Amino acid sequence: MNGKSEDKTAIEIGLFQALLPIATLILLLAIAVAVFGDATTGGPAQIALIFAGMLTACIGVHRGVAWKALEQAAVDAISSAMVAILILLMVGALIGVWIASGVIPTIIYYGSMILEPSIFYVASLLLCSVISVAIGSSWTTAGTVGIALMSVAGAMGLSLEMTAGAIISGAYFGDKLSPLSDTTNLAAGLSGTELFTHIRFLLWTTVPAYLVALIFFSFASLTVTDIVPADQIEAMQITLTENFAVNAFLFIPLICMFLCAVRQFPPLVAIFLSICIGAIMGTFHQEGASESTTMLIAAGNHVQTYWLAAATGFELDSNNATLNELLSRGGMVSMLTTVWLIISAMFFSGMMERTGILQRLLVALLTFFKKDGHFVSGAGLTALATNVVASDQYMSIALTSRMYSEEFRRKGLDPKNLSRVVEDNGTVTSALVPWNTCGAFMAGTLGVATFAYLPFCIFNLMSPIISHIYAAVGFKISKSSGEVTTTSRA
């Protein structure tokens, strides 16, 4: 088809046609959850996304979009997620190598000695918060410290779902507030807000949400009763020392990862270096490395072990069933289902954007919001809905910011209202959607299904709730002149 007919597509699509792919996807996902339960993201969700994407493509072709243009849109959408996919594969390799080299066993050993169950959940929240603020990345936080905390929680018999919730809550607190965070800079930049003005205004919703999370996980930590008895933890520690050379030097790969993140190395580079350092440390510390007569053979065996661990994961065969389950994981292959989910989601996203359906839905939303508070809340709902439909937090932030920025100015609303509401509803909720790149990453990295950890992501749930309460009562809605609707200023 010619360019003229394609340019008119977004205008020509009716609201009913635009809603049809969304309704189909919701219906298919609901059926998948009802039939397959926790196994939804193991294949059924991918099929639902592909089917809905093909239905969207059919609507696009019917409205005059060339099939070649749709194919290119799918390629472009999937290409935009390639860095996320590569990071996922690297994290899988990291887990496998860090187990095989003794890094994660060492963290479990010392962690079970230091972290008391009565403070574990709140300590996980605080630790991930501090690290995420320092490095500005929720993914790096979850992919390093998060993995270690999940391992310790599993060894101590604590709830993996609640631990994942504490990790994600802390990780996204930093991702939302850190001046090093890409989403923080993106939200501020696209809305036309100065970075630190944006961060200061974010505190009004972020601090209350974080306090709720802090209280929740403090109470959850104090009420822990179902834990592994002390004698079983001691037996587990003995098993660890029998199967791995536990040594404080094996914390070096974790420290190196943190330093790389602080120095703002690209995540792929930081993870790759940490894998290599872990393998080197394991070669010198694990069994066989000290036998000088067979040093070359031992080194060759280690290379083979870490190579396979990076590709297919590590498998522990000990007399402790809990440890066997805990430390038999990792490898790039363990992330392939998650990669499949991201590819399927981005295919659907590409079809929705190229056909003009996504833009048609967003434009329809504008007609429902008249008052300032409703308008601000509507921008938040748009960011949240885009997270679900477009399957990517960056697209959620970008589309919502581009769509509403002019309208905010026209209504005399300070752009920092937009940057804050986009972060409150777009950044933090991305981890709560199984087929979003962030939800898929967290589930794949932490080993807990998205819907299983979702109820415990207190910070991520409270941020949009508080944002909409503020909008409903007109609290902290700033006019472009600098005047706010309350007596306090951001």
* 123-175 per-position pLDDT tens digit: 999 999 988 887 778 888 888 889 889 988 888 888 999 999 999 999 999 88
Q: What is the reported pLDDT for 489?
A: 35
CA angle 183, 402, 199 (to 5 degrees): 35
Clarify whether residues 103 and 139 are in a common domain.
Answer: yes
CA distance 255 to 107: 12
Alpha carbon distance 234, 230 (integer Å): 6
Listed residue (357, 367, 375) closest to 477, CA to CA: 375
Residue 341 to residue 375: CA distance in whole angstroms: 33
pLDDT above 80 (res 432) = yes
Please indicate, yes or no, whether residues 46 and 128 belong to a single structural domain of this protein.
no
Q: Which residue has the higher pLDDT, 4 or 214?
A: 214
Q: How do residues 328-350 score in pLDDT, each as one tens digit?
A: 888 999 888 888 888 888 898 88
In this structure, the chain runs to a length of: 490
Nearest to 346 by CA among 29, 125, 43, 81: 81
pLDDT at 297: 53
Neighbours of 427 (CB within 10 A): 28
Using N-to-C axis directions, what is the helix angle for 195-222 and 160-177, rounded to 10°? 160
Quick one: tokens of 52? 């809905």
Evaluate whether 449 touches 41 at the Cβ level (below 8 Å). yes
Among 380, 470, 471, 388, smallest CA distance to 421 is for 380
Domain-embedded: residue 490: no
Whether 224 has a pLDDT exceeding 50, the answer reads yes
DSSP H helical ranges for 63-119: 67-80, 82-100, 103-114
Do residue 330 and residue 413 come from a single domain? no
- Check whether residue 61 and residue 174 sit in a common domain: no
| Strand, helix or coil for residue 411 | coil
CB of 63 closer than 8 Å to CB of 69: no
Angle at 272 between CA 266 and CA 273, to 5 degrees: 90
At residue 293, the pLDDT reads 42
Sorting pLDDT into bands at 50, 70 and 90, what band is 373? low
Give me the pLDDT at residue 112, please: 77
For residue 372, pLDDT over 60 is answered with no
Distance (Å, whole) CA 25 – CA 28: 5
Lowest mean pLDDT among 53-62, 67-76, 102-111, 259-268: 259-268
- Whether 5 maps to a domain, the answer reads no
* Same domain flag for 380 and 313: no
In a domain, 374, yes or no: yes
Q: Say which residue, 433 or 230, is predicted with more confidence.
A: 433
124 and 212 in a single domain? The answer is yes
Q: How confident is the model at residue 448 (pLDDT cuts 50, 70, 90)?
A: very high
Q: Global pTM?
A: 0.79
Q: What's the mean pLDDT in 372-385?
A: 80
Please indicate, yes or no, if residue 141 is contained in any of the structural domains. Answer: yes
Q: Is the pLDDT reported for residue 6 higher than 60? A: no
Tell whether 132 and 262 lie within a shared domain.
Answer: yes
Q: Which of 47-56, 113-122, 292-301, 477-486 has the lowest mean pLDDT?
A: 292-301
Number of domains into which the chain is organized: 2
209 within some domain: yes
Sole residue written with tokens 């999937």:
78
Question: 404 pLDDT band (50/70/90 cuts)?
Answer: confident
Beta carbons of 467 and 421 less than 8 angstroms apart: yes
Q: Same domain for 122 and 183?
A: yes
117 token code pair: 């169950």
Residue 480 lies in a domain: no
- Residue ending a domain, among 334, 355, 371, is 334
Domain check: are 249 and 396 in the same one? no
In a domain, 461, yes or no: yes
Q: Are residues 68 and 102 in the same domain?
A: no
- Domain span at residue 303 reads 83-334
CB atoms within 10 A of CB 261: 24
Within this chain, do residues 52 and 173 fall inside the same structural domain, yes or no?
Answer: no
CA 5 to centroid of chain Cα atoms: 38
Same domain, residue pair 209 and 238: yes
Rounded to whole angstroms, the Cα distance separating 190 from 418 reads 10
First to last CA, the chain: 51
Q: Assess contact for 148 and 142: CB atoms under 8 A.
A: no
| 290 pLDDT higher than 70 | no
Checking if the pLDDT of 44 tops 90, the result is no
- How high is the pLDDT of residue 174? 86
